[in-house]
Chains A and B, each alone.
Chain A
Amino acid sequence: DSGVTQTPKHLITATGQRVTLRCSPRSGDLSVYWYQQSLDQGLQFLIQYYNGEERAKGNILERFSAQQFPDLHSELNLSSLELGDSALYFCASSVSGIYGEAFFGQGTRLTVV
């Protein structure tokens, strides 16, 4: 158990809909990362937050947004969903967000039908 909790584990939704994925980081970790893993793809970095502030942005679509709340949990919002958004979405957390290893949650499998 990495200490990072992601909910829900599975999500099936229709095209055009909006969903919210939730992540609770390990206790004491200030940095949260979101990654997308599509079929046969590596982990694509989406966005990083540190102590409530956006720190780095990767290949995140404009239809996607995220935030980190004062209690340090984070949400990833995906809107106007398309079939190609079907993927595993991982959240990870780390103490500082600079170097060092990150601890991953088990992921949320999103299926868009």
Chain B
Amino acid sequence: DQQVKQNSPSLSVQEGRISILNCDYTNSMFDYFLWYKKYPAEGPTFLISISSIKDKNEDGRFTVFLNKSAKHLSLHIVPSQPGDSAVYFCAAGGNQFYFGTGTSLTVIP
């Protein structure tokens, strides 16, 4: 059973606009959440994280929002750039992390 779900396998956005990637989780005990970015032929790289005591964390163009009651988190990228085109994985857990299946983001110049 998938404990972390990314229901959109792909997303296309125009350069300069906002990209919103979504992630849902099922276990209310999860208390730490991360986003990773993955380019082809490379391993995932850490992007941004948030703990359950916060509802927002911002790092430059990237902001992660956490809605604990809805068990939902989202990643906002503003403004989107062509170099952001990659697969984005969300992960949730604490001692052990569960990953979603990824969302492939394409930023169109």
Which A residues have a C-beta under 8 Å from some C-beta of B? 2, 4, 33, 35, 40-45, 48, 55-56, 58, 90, 92, 97-107
In the complex, whether B51 has a CB less than 8 A from a CB of chain A is: yes
> Could you say which residues of chain A place their CB within 8 Å of the CB of B100?
42
Bound state CA distance, A48 and B43, in angstroms?
17
Binding site secondary structure of chain A: loop
Tell me how many residue pairs across A and B have CB atoms closer than 8 Å: 55
Q: Closest chain B residue to A91 by CB distance?
A: B43
Interface extent on B, as a size class? 20 to 34
Query: Knowing A90-B43, A101-B46 touch, does A42 contact B51 (C-beta < 8 A)?
Result: no
Bound state CA distance, A42 and B97, in angstroms?
12
Residues 49 to 67 of chain B near chain A (Cβ within 8 Å): 49, 51
Bound state CA distance, A41 and B41, in angstroms?
16
Asked if residues A58 and B96 are in contact (CB atoms below 8 Å), the reply is yes
Asked if residues B95 and A90 are in contact (CB atoms below 8 Å), the reply is no
